Amino acid sequence: MAYDAGDTANPFGGQPHPRIDGKAKVTGAARYGSDEPVANPAFAYLVTSSIAKGRVTGFQLDAARAVRGYIDILTHENINGEYHTPPPFGGKDGQTTTLESDQVWHDGQIVAVVLAETFEAAREAANKVVVNYAVEAPSATFDSPGTTTEPHKPQSGPDPKKGDAAGAFQGAAVKVDAQYYTPPQHHNPIELFATTCVWDGPHLTVYEGSQFMWGMKNALAKQLQTDPTNIRAVSRFVGGGFGSKGGTRPQTALCAIAARRLNRPVKLVATRDQGFTVATFRAETRQHVKLAASTDGKLVSFFHEGWEVTSRPSGYNVGGVDTTARMYACPNIATAVNVVHADRNTPGFQRAPAETPYMFGLECAMDELAYALAMDPIELRRINDTQVDPVSGLKFSSRSLMQCFDQAAARFGWKNRNPKPASMRDGDWLIGYGCATACYPTNIGPGAARLAITPDGKATIGLAAHEIGTGAYTTVAITVARTLGIPVESVTVNLGDSDLPPIPVAGGSNNAASTSHVAHKVCMEALTKIAAAAVAASDSPFHGADPATLKLEDGALKGPGNRSEPLQKAVGRLGGKLEVYAENIPKGLQPEAMANLYKGMPMMARGSGRKDFTTYAFGAQLVEVRVHERTREVRAPRVVSAFAAGNIINPLTAYSQLMGGAIWGLSAALHEATELDLTHARYMNDNLADYMVPVNADVPSVEIIMVPEHDEGVNPLGVKGIGEIGIVGMNAAVANAVFHATGKRIRDLPIRVEKLL
């Protein structure tokens, strides 16, 4: 595997390091939510609705009760008083709720939980539960009768707008006016949605894959009407999340209630198909984009309106115009977002929730504009590149978009592209080159951590961060090792336990920035204590020195005049183990951000919400596609992506994360969609056999370039985070390449054979 070694000048970045938890994962020692061995568990199995709209009128339970090992069933009829508050994460304006009443909001809603002595008995009994319904005709998606549409409530300020977009469009020389569509998609993490609940008196321990330990702890406390101190959430490893494990899911509280009733541990694993409806998904979008430019390619008007499907009670939406309006210099901007309520489960975060669909619209429209101008699409982006956020007027803390395009284009061989559509071929295969901009806002949250250094010179750090496959253990270990001047092998990292100090949701690509800063801070506070003791001690080489001049390096405490003492000795002076707790509140957040985090409410300094800079990471994604002249099969033999995301803490795991994003983008562009039965508002391909994803043969070559970028404005360590950006430009890059190959502009995803015939 090749990776760019990146920026080795920065002491907090650049040195590739293998995952410190890699061995535990590949040997099976890493435990996930349903792996926890507990004594004498009962097993829960969900019964989910077979209708999308209506009411439950009753249950026929005789056959279920007759199954050997059957214990009990929870339904809305018998759970009253135990489960009052719907999951709070994801919006105050209502989630689809579960077992609160007889109402059915969507297909696959939990209507009962069967408990039995074994998993098999629970499954058999659940399958024998007959649910009677009063059925109503559901609305499935856009254009279904009975949907309602309303403007969304923007999360952070009004939708971007400036100048007179309509007037400027009317008078412009070159225009694009197009509609785009992105389909519903499901995350499908390999680890199923699984929960193990164990009560000990009033204390509940929950083992469940989660992207937000402290959020789960606090949400469950509300749902179970208990104090958060009674609840411990454990999730040391998460078998994939992609956003689906960021919010609290309804079955978690149901599992806890079941365990309390039975007075024994309960394990609940939602099946793969149930996961399509008891967790969230990426909602389908429609977009209307209007772009206008003068004949030299300079944008004069940008209009972007989106429509997103959501459930009946929730206003959830991703509102990606907040990002698209910031991409290019443009004097006149108008944006809007609408939510379309249908009889569906509530959607949620899925990798770059806002950017992935909305950048598809913008970046396809940019390609269409480049053709209308007879201009190279990379040059069009160069002409409209800007170091200033066009909406707020703030500077970007750094923006290396064109460096990314230049490096990716050189590596890719973009100069060999004949711009004329359908002009390049290899035998029966039409060749297309496409490109698009990728971006992701740089978010950073508060965080807290505990650090212990023992007299043997080893360090242990604890923080309730989340390893969702990204390499979080390793980036924390690297940060501690570099700050304390010790080898990574001397650092033990504890994550994924709400008994540890809180860290925000592992979402919005904030993890690297949030955790590295608090890890650095707690280490610097340890240094302060070590230095204070050293200058005070008469037997120390630093006696009487200014403590601020001391630093930790190469396993030693060092000071001016080549004075040095082994770390072991300097720590030993403190009398046993040195323990430090530290909190970090990033610039721009108020002190209450920490108290709110302890209450399970993360406040972020958001990429487009800061007062000093607008902070984003950028990238350029280039794709070669080959479309068979007669069968119209589409292949994507080459992807080259370049990203500039500030200081890369671990280029090895970053490479993997960025490559994974690019592959998922190929998947979204060419394969993925959750297929809807429009009559029943039901997902039809709710399994991994029918839900199309690429295999190795679909992804021959993905090259990742990490463009060095120093950014002192974004945060003290210059860390931007790369969790999500890798997927963002891929949809448009592929669609643009397909146009170049064939001359056919496909504006609705995925691009399958039938659309090209």
Nearest residue to the partner ligand MOS, using Cβ? 243
Site for ligand MOS (CB under 6 A): how many residues? Answer: 12
DSSP string, 612-637: S-B-EEEEEEEEEEEEETTT--EEEE
The candidate with the shortest Cα–Cα distance to 335, out of 93, 147, 174, 152, is 152
675 classed as catalytic: no
Helix (H) or strand (E) holding 56: strand 54-60
Q: Could you tell me the CA-to-CA distances from 168 to 204, 211, 333, 367 in Å, in that order?
A: 60, 44, 9, 20
Sign for the CA dihedral angle at 247, 251, 253, 259 comes to negative
Nearest to 4 by CA among 567, 490, 626, 642: 642
Q: Which amino acid is at 15?
A: Q
Residue 657: exposed, middle, or buried by beta-carbon count in 10 A (0-12, 13-18, 19+)? buried
- Within 712-741, which residues bind ligand MOS (CB under 6 A)? 724
Q: Which is nearer to ligand MOS, 195 or 211 (CB)?
A: 211
Closest CB to ligand MOS among 508 and 619? Answer: 508
Say if CB 469 and CB 664 are below 8 A apart. no
Choose between 241 and 297: whose C-beta lies nearer to ligand MOS.
241
The single residue among 350, 442, 474, 483 that binds ligand MOS, judged by CB under 6 A, is 350
**Residue given tokens 């039975």 in the structure block:** 262
Q: Residue holding tokens 């923006």? A: 399
Q: Report the distance separating Cα 434 and Cα 65, nearest Å.
A: 59
Contact with ligand MOS (CB under 6 A) among 281, 349, 616, 739: 349
Short-list 208, 174, 379, 326, CA closest to 278: 208
Least Å distance, CB 656 to ligand MOS, is 17
CB of 217 to ligand MOS, least distance (A): 18
**Identity of the residue, 348 or 501, whose beta carbon is nearer to ligand MOS in the bound complex:** 348
Say how far residue 355 (Cα) sits from the centre of its chain: 11
Q: Distance between the two ends of the chain, CA-based, in angstroms?
A: 37
Part in contact with ligand MOS (CB under 6 A); list of ranges 228-236, 347-355, 428-436, 609-617: 347-355
CB 509 to ligand MOS: min, Å: 7
Output the DSSP codes for 716-740: TT-B---TTHHHHTHHHHHHHHHHH
Distance of closest approach, residue 510 Cβ to ligand MOS, in angstroms: 8
**Coil vs helix vs strand at 561:** coil
* Contact criterion met (CB below 8 Å) for 514 and 503: yes
Nearest distance, CB of residue 28 and ligand MOS, angstroms? 26
353 touches ligand MOS by CB under 6 A:
yes
Among residues 286, 351, 517, 680, the one that binds ligand MOS under rule CB under 6 A: 351
**Contacting ligand MOS (CB under 6 A), which of 445, 485, 504, 508?**
508
Pairing of strands 299-310, 333-341: parallel
C-alpha span between 337 and 319 (Å, rounded): 6
Q: Classify 493 as helix, strand or coil.
A: strand
Give whichever of 82 and 724 is closer to ligand MOS, judged by the CB atom.
Answer: 724
Judged by CB under 6 A, which of 16, 87, 507, 661 binds ligand MOS?
Answer: 507
CA 350 to chain CA mean position, Å: 6
Contacts of ligand MOS in 562-591 (CB under 6 A): none
Tokens standing for 413?
């061989």
For ligand MOS, which is the closer residue by CB, 212 or 739? 212
Choice between 319 and 377, CB closer to ligand MOS:
319
Cα–Cα distance measured from residue 577 to residue 588, given in angstroms and rounded to the nearest whole number? 34
- Write down the least CB distance from residue 463 to ligand MOS, Å: 18
Contact between 90 and ligand MOS per CB under 6 A = no
When the beta carbons of 462 and 507 are compared against ligand MOS, the nearer one is: 507
Please tell me the distance from the alpha carbon of residue 633 to that of residue 742, in angstroms, as a whole number: 12
SS3 76: coil
Radius of gyration, alpha carbons of the chain:
27
Nearest residue (CB) to ligand MOS, 351 versus 680 = 351
Contact range with ligand MOS by CB under 6 A, out of 21-29, 332-340, 343-351, 424-432: 343-351
Q: Is 250 in the site for ligand MOS (CB under 6 A)?
A: no
**Among residue numbers 444 through 463, which ones bind ligand MOS (CB under 6 A)?**
none
- Please tell me which residue in 124, 208, 308, 724 is annotated as part of the active site: 724
Question: By rule CB under 6 A, what string of x and - marks binding of each residue 208-247 to ligand MOS?
Answer: ---x-----------------------------xxx--x-
The CB-of-525 to ligand MOS minimum distance in angstroms stands at 30
The residue to which tokens 């007889």 are assigned: 102
Give helix 250-262 / helix 213-223 axis angle, nearest 10°.
Answer: 60
- Taking the complex as a whole, how short is the minimal distance between the CB of residue 240 and ligand MOS, in angstroms? 11
Nearer to ligand MOS by Cβ, of 186 and 626: the residue is 186
Closest CB 282 distance from ligand MOS, rounded Å: 9
**Measured from the CB of residue 180, what is the shortest distance to ligand MOS in angstroms?**
21
734 with 671: CB under 8 angstroms?
no
Catalytic residue set:
724
Which residues of this protein are in contact with ligand MOS, per CB under 6 A? Answer: 211, 241-243, 246, 349-351, 353, 507-508, 724
